[in-house]
Amino acid sequence: MAEIMLKVEGLAVNYGAISALRGISFEVAPREIITLIGANGAGKTTTLHAISNIIKKSQGRVTFDGIDISAMPPDRIVAAGLVQVPEGRRIFANLSVRDNLEMGAYSRRAVTPNERQAIRSDMEKVFNVFPRLKERIRQIAGTLSGGEQQMLAMGRSLMASPRLLLLDEPSMGLAPILVDEIFSVIKGINETGTTILLVEQNAYKALALASRAYILETGEVVKCGPAADLMKDDAVKAAYLGA
């Protein structure tokens, strides 16, 4: 790849005596959709948390747009344009839809009229992506359906103006028709210029969407390549695609 947006080198994470990540490395280029595939406990979520500096790394280096963010505080990582949509949505259940979206823009510090206008404009863009959120703008977030809560979690992250979006299990717990809708939205977000790093249990959907993929097993990258090629790989099909 001629240009790299995110570079992960030798990333390791230990939970006590347990090695959750064992020196993984990968790269993400601008405007790509990259997916991390693996069974439960393979280290996928840990990888995203280590990139975002939510958990402490044992070793390794993470660079974003050529800047070492390995020791950068999580709020500064968000302000730099690298934003995570967490597993399980983690919306502010007692706040309204509008309040949740405004919390997503917290890192932008709307102190100037121009920035306040930009935030209002971005909220309208979120409503264009997720019309149901506009219909429920005053509704308490905890009363939304599971699919609507996932939309809200993604919309909240878009309010931070991400250039790279880390998506952790966006289809978890959703009905099949909503899974299709969420993946269609992810594709649309990418087509507007946002780079995507996707962690997803639904390997078939993830590989069908992504340009490249990395297979994780017990904290190590065991295989990588174009997603279309991995979908045809007999070992990948047997392990992850039900073949």
CATH of the domain at 8: 3.40.50.300
- What average pLDDT does the chain have? 91
Nearest residue to 130 (alpha-carbon basis) of 163, 160, 98, 95: 98
Is the pLDDT at 1 greater than 60? The verdict is no
Contacts of 232 (CB under 8 A, 6+ apart): none
Residues 61 and 171 both lie in one domain: yes
Residues 205 and 134 both lie in one domain: no
pLDDT at 16: 87
Domain end call among 118, 138, 161? 161
Domain end call among 161, 191, 222? 161
Residues 167 and 239 both lie in one domain: yes
Q: For the residues 200-222, what does the mean pLDDT come to?
A: 95
pTM to 2 decimal places = 0.91
188 in helix, strand or coil?
helix
146-150, 194-198, 239-243, range with the lowest pLDDT: 239-243
High-pLDDT (> 70) share of the chain, %: 96
Structural domain boundaries enclosing 131:
91-161
Residues 75 and 99 both lie in one domain: no
Q: For the residues 182-206, what does the mean pLDDT come to?
A: 94
Tokens found for residue 146: 């599971």
pLDDT, tens digit, for every residue of 66-118?
A: 999 999 999 999 989 999 998 877 898 999 999 999 988 877 665 567 777 78
Nearest residue to 57 (alpha-carbon basis) of 23, 12, 16: 12
Count of domains forming the chain:
2
High-pLDDT (> 90) share of the chain, %: 76
Residue 146 and residue 104: Cα distance in Å, rounded?
19
